[in-house]
């Protein structure tokens, strides 16, 4: 729910690869992100957008307002002004919010301050246009804007805004494991080696994975300690005066936030291993990839790896990232920087937030007919698709289905889901781009729409 199970892609590059040889570069692309859970493709595409003049319009469609809020926050982190953060500062802040149930106090202070800025952004159109012109909230209904405002208010520290995420996480783990809870570390190790690594997620190291399964803290570094609950992981918020009810912790607790940015990278040395022990953790690869994205967004030029920008702890078990004071929830208001400076400019990037109802209705609403050049579909949103899916596609559009390859699903379950995707794509007369004859795992199936629907 909060992160994806396929690698971050530059969707402009993917679209160009899918077109016929000699095709002219598009002047504009409409991109539908259907339930992706995180902004990985938005950020990766934005980081490479300085290389072309094509305008990229991203339409974000999620199943709950809290995910829209989280996407907005994470994207804002990546685009914060260089006067407020260094590239490394933004990188670690992004990773903390993205993948950790418990945050550094600094990250919690940022969320508290940024929540007020985001509230103003969705309630004051003039401020939004000056501070973050890349975002568009015009499609959202008033009730969704009100819900967003409640979400941002919940993120601020108040005595009534309790989110004991460490407790909720442990309850989820106990319910999942049942009688195996007393031997949970052995279960976690089996899931890693017999499922995740067998399925292709080879960069994840035992020490980081087991620590995440046990605590919900995925990304750790020796210089940091986690202590404050990450309220961006709360969904189902219902406000009663100044207090809130919610659904505790939901979403994935078996695969982890490592796939989006931490499974592959251009430098082979970062994915090297000796006797099955990786030189770099998935955390370290995530740091490298997020650093590159944020650097290129800010500097608008290619990033060249500097080993001083990243950590190397593949073979180390770190005494860090512990869930400190997990039963003591910080409730006092925090005074911090306002973080209301204009975001880094991105002239050819536009991010449009779609209403929640469109999850079920997008294929039947005329405003979406023949609109999208690229569609990305999360694996857990596949069941929402209907037979008239091709109505929203332009001719020669690129359609990407996220598979369950890089998860803890059993191979038979992965294969069964792959067959469902292929059968559905065939029923919609989509032409496969992915070479299924090559016996390699695919985290994404790519297709082209060749029907003349315009």
pLDDT at 178: 96
Under DSSP, the state recorded for 279 is: S
- What is residue 386's predicted lDDT score, i.e. its pLDDT? 84
pLDDT at 454: 43
For 162, the 3-state DSSP assignment is coil
| Distance from C-alpha of 420 to C-alpha of 402, rounded to nearest angstrom | 12
* pLDDT at residue number 453: 45
**Pairing relationship of beta strands 349-353 and 277-278 according to DSSP bridges:** unpaired
> What is the C-alpha to C-alpha distance for residues 97 and 215, in angstroms, rounded to an integer?
15
Name the residue among 11, 63, 10, 61 with its Cα closest to residue 32: 61
> Phi, psi at residue 52, to the nearest 5°?
-145, 175
Strands (E), 16-165: 28-34, 55-61, 102-103, 135-136
Q: What is the C-alpha separation between 220 and 292, in angstroms, rounded?
A: 19
Q: Are 263 and 201 in contact (CB under 8 A)?
A: yes
Along the 454 residues of the chain, how does pLDDT read in single tens digits? 899 999 999 999 999 999 888 888 899 999 999 999 999 999 999 999 999 999 999 999 999 999 999 999 999 999 999 999 999 999 999 999 999 999 999 999 999 999 999 999 999 999 999 999 999 999 999 999 999 999 999 999 988 888 999 999 999 999 999 999 999 999 999 999 999 999 999 999 999 999 999 999 999 998 888 999 999 999 999 888 888 988 889 999 999 999 999 999 999 999 988 878 899 999 999 999 999 999 999 999 999 999 888 888 776 666 655 555 555 555 555 666 889 999 999 999 999 999 999 999 999 999 999 999 999 999 999 999 987 788 999 999 999 999 999 999 999 999 999 999 999 999 999 999 999 877 788 999 999 998 654 4
Strand partners, 431: 448
Distance in angstroms (rounded) separating the CA atoms of residues 227 and 400: 38
Q: Which of 202, 94, 158 is nearest to 332 (CA)?
A: 158
31, 288 Cβ separation under 8 angstroms: no
Long-range contacts of 194-199 (CB under 8 A, 24+ apart): 195/407, 195/408, 195/409, 195/410, 196/255, 196/406, 196/407, 196/408, 198/411, 199/405, 199/406, 199/407, 199/408, 199/409, 199/411, 199/414, 199/441
Closest CA to 219 of 273, 256, 165, 266: 256
**C-alpha closest to that of 80 among 54, 57, 113:** 113
Q: What span, in angstroms and rounded, lies between the C-alpha atoms of 401 and 33?
A: 11
- Cα distances (angstroms) measured from residue 294 to each of 80, 291, 400, 422: 9, 5, 25, 35
List the domain boundaries for the chain: 11-19+36-51+63-309
Do β-strands 372-377 and 28-34 pair in parallel, antiparallel, or remain unpaired? parallel
């Amino acid at each position: 729910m909060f992160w994806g199970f396929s690698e971050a892609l530059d969707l402009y590059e993917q679209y160009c690869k899918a077109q016929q040889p000699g095709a002219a570069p598009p002047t504009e692309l409409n991109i539908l992100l259907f339930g992706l859970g995180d902004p990985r493709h938005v950020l990766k595409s934005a980081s490479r957008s300085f290389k072309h003049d094509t305008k990229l319009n991203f339409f974000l469609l999620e199943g709950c307002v809290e995910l829209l809020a989280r996407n907005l926050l994470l994207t804002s982190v990546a685009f914060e002004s260089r006067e407020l953060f260094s590239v490394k500062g933004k990188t670690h802040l992004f990773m903390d919010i993205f993948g950790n149930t418990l945050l550094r106090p600094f990250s919690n202070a940022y969320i508290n301050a940024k929540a007020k800025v985001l509230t103003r952004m969705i309630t004051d159109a003039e401020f939004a246009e000056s501070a973050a012109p890349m975002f568009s909230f015009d499609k959202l209904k008033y009730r969704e804007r009100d819900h967003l405002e409640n979400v941002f208010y919940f993120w601020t520290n108040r005595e009534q805004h309790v989110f004991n995420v460490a407790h909720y996480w442990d309850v989820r783990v106990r319910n999942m494991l049942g009688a195996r809870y007393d031997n949970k570390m052995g279960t976690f190790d089996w899931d890693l080696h017999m499922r995740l690594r067998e399925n292709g997620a080879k960069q994840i190291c035992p020490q980081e994975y087991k620590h995440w399964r046990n605590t919900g803290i995925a990304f750790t570094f020796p210089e940091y300690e986690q202590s404050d609950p990450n309220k961006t992981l709360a969904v189902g918020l219902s406000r009663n005066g100044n207090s809130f009810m919610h659904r505790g912790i939901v979403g994935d607790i078996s695969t982890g936030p490592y796939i989006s940015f931490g499974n592959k990278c251009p430098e082979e040395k970062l994915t090297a291993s000796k006797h099955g022990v990786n030189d770099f953790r998935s955390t370290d690869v995530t740091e490298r990839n997020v650093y590159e994205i944020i650097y290129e967004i800010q500097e608008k030029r290619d990033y060249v790896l500097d080993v001083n920008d990243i950590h190397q702890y593949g073979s180390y078990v770190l005494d860090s990232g512990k869930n400190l004071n997990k039963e003591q929830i910080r409730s006092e208001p925090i005074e911090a920087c306002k973080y209301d400076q204009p975001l880094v400019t991105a002239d050819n990037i536009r991010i449009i937030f779609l209403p929640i109802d469109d999850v079920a209705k997008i294929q039947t609403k005329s405003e979406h007919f023949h609109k999208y050049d690229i569609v990305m579909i999360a694996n857990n949103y596949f069941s929402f698709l209907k037979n008239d899916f091709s109505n929203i596609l332009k001719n020669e559009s690129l359609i990407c289905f996220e598979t369950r390859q890089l998860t803890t699903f059993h191979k038979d379950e992965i294969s069964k889901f792959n067959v469902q995707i292929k059968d559905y794509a065939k029923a919609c007369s989509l032409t496969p781009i992915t070479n299924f004859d090559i016996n390699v795992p695919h985290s994404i199936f790519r297709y082209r729409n060749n029907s003349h629907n315009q």
